[in-house]
Structure 1
């Protein structure tokens, strides 16, 4: 697919951290599938850069093993052989300018003239400044006919100050339109479908506001525990790991105003407006609007500090102070070692203002967007039960990706994001001001938790839905978590 987006030039993809897990599990399977679908540039090559001493053939064999184990789709040896011919590797240190000079010379020889370059940082964020400085020092970011783009993996900072500093460092060598901060959640088809559910269907948008919606619940739960990530996770916790990026991104798509177009600038402008309309909490507000908890036995996990207060579960109540959402609570929660792996959004509509049917308690309508694992959309509404005078029953209208489009319809999220980065579409990537605004909301919560130890750290049983305090958070508002009701909609199938 040699579209004008690729400008007819050879495109070089350089992966830093190419000998690592992300490249083997996600990046190469995604790039290969784009190649299989003929969505890569007609002329392209992939250079890996890492600390492991691979030859080109050893690098290809390493990636081939990853394809066989992680690709999740079938491919032929012939297809792999053609794709593998584009794979090259050079070893080096991320802090050594001479190694980057060697890379620059290799690329110049292989490209034989003007070319596009996409640099992918599959490395810890602490290495971003050194790599970008060395790319800049060796002239590899100069757009002399072809474009230059850099993809940065999350997390982007550990707090507001570090995010601001990191933005300053990368902006020394790059313009904002060259920077693609990746959050793989935004590459999920089901997350993108939030926008299409809202804006491609006129039945929803007129009622998508405080006049009709009682509250919104967003749940991102993981059934697994640390999975050998204790060294990373114990210094991060659930708020940094899940809320600052994934959950706030989902929130912006649920709550944003219709953009003027689906261009990157218009879409990201509206997302920033949502985050800007949320007032950062005071310590007193953190105490009553948040829950932090740790699963029982966490401190006994390998490489975890036995006195750790790192939360593995959090629940927040937020308000978006704009015309559309004033007074509507958004309840957000995420945790590890939870009863089910589940990502879903529940839109709870208001109850009817009055009932015409005696002796009946009318259940409010509920729209559920299932992002994983059973991807789809469900709408619960009330219907009269047959052969009764006035009895109603909740019924469900449903859509499932698998039944509508086939089992293999949903591609890997990295596949979509890599394609967008190659084509210069930044719609699903995070802009600098969006990162900083998100951190400005999370920072006060973190500071209150870590400095004042408020609210107290709760404990929950592994395999449960979290601590009692999380249920109390909603009970004080006369509400409850609705995920079990939403799950029963699926159980009816």
Structure 2
């Protein structure tokens, strides 16, 4: 299978925070891989901008070292490396002052796509937007890319949206959530809306329940000071898991275009019922081979959760009575993200109980090995009567697509190119962000007012035992994390 790469239009991409960790680990390697796949036109330019005083050549040297570490396979080609670095420039720019802005204006071209990546703390978003406007740097078709967190509650999200809206139209703002750029997340829409086999069954009549898991094996590490002010609810549920829930549960959009898709996602958030606190489990990892959560954040009395599980209901006709179980956490048994749709058992079985009939399960794996599998029931081969077993119809990208699966663009590659193309389908709209916070805030306020403490759990486990009990109450169980 040969993938068809369509080059994008010439562009100037300015990376504010161009010397930061995100630029080094994700943004620049993603751009380099798109260059190696010949999707980046010859006229494209990448301009790093940060407070650091250094020459463009010093910045190129720094970029080259980062590519060798984070894109080693592609970086082995010296001609490709040289060609990419020829497109890289650098300017010292003071986000909160006046230094460097006139120089940046002189470098920008008016006849190409302009994109500005705000790879900085959200507190600087307003300063950057105001200066781009004040110095006349961004033309009418310019696009800005902003990273999460999109606020820390409804009030700050509204304020942030209002600040950006002073200088940019909603059609110019790209709120990036890298989970939406994953190949399997997009395949979720293809599976649902491109196959008559699934969409007629995608409702409460046939689906028993849905599980969405984002498990991480690492702790909070060096992010302790940030994470302790956020917790799993703000850091993961309000954005990543909420978006996965929306794509799983939404109605078919009238067409595959940005606002049609985002309108349907917004309807899901607004139909999402607020769960009682008994349907929410919060946890903190204990000490094991590594420090405990409390050691990592250096706050001896922290009540911030590193794990959360919850049972949710969507108040609409499609999903009435079908629960959605969400969980995410740090320092769990393994790194794994998946959406699992458990279908109901047949209404009547013609087989004896000893035959072992089981319901069908559709699993959409996001990481680490992206793919989709569907468990179906067949007769166990051999004599001895009718014995039923489950077998997977497995489509692992690595197996189904062969060696080219390794070249499937990662999330940042796809999303950055979507910015250049002007395609907002996989980006969050302002009203989506605010609706998600409007649902999230009362839950955080409720457990804060009660003074609830997270339940301790063993590192390397599947989380607190209370999480398993949450499922057992409904005679269900979590799919194994390991």
Deviation of 1:225 after TM superposition, in Å, equals: 0.9
Q: 2:153 aligns with which of 153, 156, 159?
A: 159
Q: Could you say if the C-alpha distance between residues 54 and 4 of structure 1 is closer, same or farther in structure 2, counting changes exceeding 3 Å? A: closer
Deviation of 1:98 after TM superposition, in Å, equals: 4.3
Deviation of 1:377 after TM superposition, in Å, equals: 1.2
Q: Which residue of 2 aligns with 1:467?
A: 464
How is 1:393-472 mapped onto 2 (pairs within 5 angstroms)?
393-405=389-401, 406=403, 407-454=405-452, 456-472=453-469
Q: Which residue of 1 aligns with 2:318?
A: 324
Any conservation in 1 of the 2:220–2:293 contact (CA below 8 Å)?
A: no
Deviation of 1:353 after TM superposition, in Å, equals: 2.1
SS at match of 1:314: strand
- CA distances 1:447-482 after superposition (whole Å, capped 9, x unpaired): 11222234x421100000011111111111121112
Any conservation in 1 of the 2:219–2:293 contact (CA below 8 Å)?
A: no
Query: Does residue 383 of structure 1 match 2:390?
Result: no
Q: Which residue of 1 aligns with 2:227?
A: 233
Any conservation in 2 of the 1:92–1:99 contact (CA below 8 Å)?
A: yes
Range with greater deviation from structure 2 (352-361 or 265-274): 352-361
Any conservation in 1 of the 2:221–2:296 contact (CA below 8 Å)?
A: no
Structure 1 gaps of 5+ residues are 488-493
Whole-angstrom distance in 2 between the partners of 1:167 and 1:394: 49
Q: Which residue of 1 aligns with 2:25?
A: 25
Structure 1 consecutive aligned stretches of length 4 or more whose deviation exceeds 4 Å: 1-5
Q: 2:130 aligns with which of 130, 133, 142?
A: 133
Whole-angstrom distance in 2 between the partners of 1:214 and 1:422: 41
Whole-angstrom distance in 2 between the partners of 1:468 and 1:2: 47
Any conservation in 1 of the 2:308–2:328 contact (CA below 8 Å)?
A: yes
Any conservation in 1 of the 2:8–2:39 contact (CA below 8 Å)?
A: no
SS at match of 1:93: coil
Any conservation in 1 of the 2:294–2:302 contact (CA below 8 Å)?
A: no
How is 1:1-20 mapped onto 2 (pairs within 5 angstroms)?
6=9, 10-20=10-20
Any conservation in 2 of the 1:97–1:138 contact (CA below 8 Å)?
A: no
Deviation of 1:409 after TM superposition, in Å, equals: 3.3
Whole-angstrom distance in 1 between the partners of 2:310 and 2:99: 48
Query: Does residue 289 of structure 1 match 2:279?
Result: yes
SS at match of 2:470: helix
Whole-angstrom distance in 2 between the partners of 1:290 and 1:27: 35
Deviation of 1:303 after TM superposition, in Å, equals: 4.2
Structure 2 gaps of 5+ residues are none
Q: Could you say if the C-alpha distance between residues 28 and 36 of structure 1 is closer, same or farther in structure 2, counting changes exceeding 3 Å? A: same
- CA distances 1:36-94 after superposition (whole Å, capped 9, x unpaired): 22212441211111011110000000000000000143242122112211211111221
Whole-angstrom distance in 1 between the partners of 2:259 and 2:293: 44
Please, what is the CA RMSD of the aligned residues? Answer: 1.8
Range with greater deviation from structure 2 (72-81 or 241-250): 72-81
Q: Which residue of 1 aligns with 2:252?
A: 258
- CA distances 1:382-417 after superposition (whole Å, capped 9, x unpaired): 222231223211222111100111351332210000
Any conservation in 2 of the 1:218–1:332 contact (CA below 8 Å)?
A: yes
Q: Which residue of 2 aligns with 1:190?
A: 184
How is 1:64-79 mapped onto 2 (pairs within 5 angstroms)?
64-75=64-75, 76-79=77-80
Q: 1:224 aligns with which of 215, 218, 222?
A: 218
Q: Which residue of 1 aligns with 2:119?
A: 122
Whole-angstrom distance in 2 between the partners of 1:72 and 1:78: 14
How is 1:145-156 mapped onto 2 (pairs within 5 angstroms)?
147-156=141-150
Whole-angstrom distance in 2 between the partners of 1:365 and 1:471: 21
Whole-angstrom distance in 1 between the partners of 2:188 and 2:40: 27
Q: 2:364 aligns with which of 361, 369, 393?
A: 369
Whole-angstrom distance in 1 between the partners of 2:407 and 2:41: 23
Deviation of 1:325 after TM superposition, in Å, equals: 0.6
Deviation of 1:301 after TM superposition, in Å, equals: 2.1
Q: Which residue of 2 aligns with 1:307?
A: 301
Any conservation in 2 of the 1:34–1:40 contact (CA below 8 Å)?
A: yes
Deviation of 1:435 after TM superposition, in Å, equals: 0.6
Q: Which residue of 2 aligns with 1:490?
A: none
Q: 1:280 aligns with which of 265, 274, 283?
A: 274
Deviation of 1:32 after TM superposition, in Å, equals: 1.4
Question: Normalising to structure 1: TM-score of the pair?
Answer: 0.92
Deviation of 1:5 after TM superposition, in Å, equals: 6.6
